[in-house]
Homo-oligomer: A and B are copies of this chain.
Amino acid sequence: MATIKDIADRLGISVSTVSKGLNGGHDISDELRRKVLDTAVELGYHKKGTEGPHSRFVLFIENMDYESASSFGHPIVLGFEKAAYADDNGVDIIAVSEDFQKAHEYDTFLMEHGYAGAYILGFSLEDPWMKTLETTRFPTVLLDNYIPANPYVGSIGTDSEEGIDMAVSHLVAQGHEKIAFLDGSKGSYVSDIRMLAYLRAMYSHHLPINPDLAVYGYFVKEAASYHVPTFLSLGATAIICGNDDIAEGVYESVKNAGFSVPEDVSVIGFDDLPPASKLTPPLTTIHQDLPELGKSGYYILKVMTEHIALSKNLLRPKLVVRDSTAIARPRLAMQQYRDKDSVANINPALYNSFLQDTSAVR
């Protein structure tokens, strides 16, 4: 575990200055104190001894890597810790399995450990605790998930609607019209939000919606090989993906079909995790600010401990334009690739209304 000296060495300051920063001493600037605290979090330093008068929060994480620096969870966890420590509040990080949830009642667990509130990452709608969240009275914030009606539970995420609208606008400005969307897993809250965002963006750009070009896969790159041949057969010149992993799979499938990114097919990802910029070509993608998702998760949670019923909270996305998108080069549809089955992949409730509308704009 890191020591105070490690923090001092990293920042090039004295051990006593670090100590002032960690213990709320007065003769140190706010900026330097924040730097000391942030570095303490980054190096994994944990203050020992008395708890003090402040609150403890817990971050529950499931189905999500957060150990490695390039993982999705890591910067979120760090951001949450940094914001909490800057407020002199404590944080526990607990990886929870389905069995753990069955063994511990949510409210009891929080009460027994004296937590003021919880931030929950990586849960799916099927997780045992999701049912409890409908009625809990402990302030809780969910990343990328939403619980109706309970004023004690809020949600946070990146604004997929704005992000996907930016992606579609970027492609339209380069002459693309046949834009496919390969989403993440069906039944995931964010997948449904992103599918609806894609349909809305296509609709608002007066582009026809073809259900064979709007399909759910899984949040892994292997999903691409099932759907990209259909997209290509239908003449798609651009493919937006539910995350960066899927985009990496799309690269491979496009190549296997004898085409090139971005000359024949433009590709856009979602997340902008570190590998995105290292792909060949570097991936144009919708950037989620993961440290901000961590920090704002803490801030929203803290507001909720003041009995303010924040419900849905969204952060701004950014479109990071790299080399995987280019001006459209139209291709003829190749009927032999056409796979009628893919229509079964889309959620009818989501696109039905939009689909019917496109008859007016086609």
Contact = CB atoms under 8 A, between A and B. Distances in A.
Interface of A: 148-149, 151, 159, 162, 166, 203, 289, 292, 295-296, 299-300, 303, 306, 308-316, 318, 352-354, 356-357, 360
Contacts of A162: 148-149, 311
Please indicate which of the listed interface residues A149, A318, A353, A354 has the most CB atoms of chain B within 10 Å of its own CB: A353
A173 to B, nearest CB: 14
Contact of A295 (B149, B292, B306, B354): B306
A312 B310 CA distance: 11
B310 A315 contact: yes
A353 B349 CA distance: 12
A57 to B, nearest CB: 16
A186 B360 CA distance: 24
B303 A308 contact: no
Contact of A296 (B151, B296, B310, B316): B310
A80 B296 CA distance: 20
The list of the 8 closest CB pairs from A to B, nearest first, reads: A353-B353, A309-B316, A356-B356, A151-B316, A353-B357, A299-B303, A312-B314, A313-B313
Contacts of A166: 149
Contact of A310 (B306, B308, B314, B354): B314
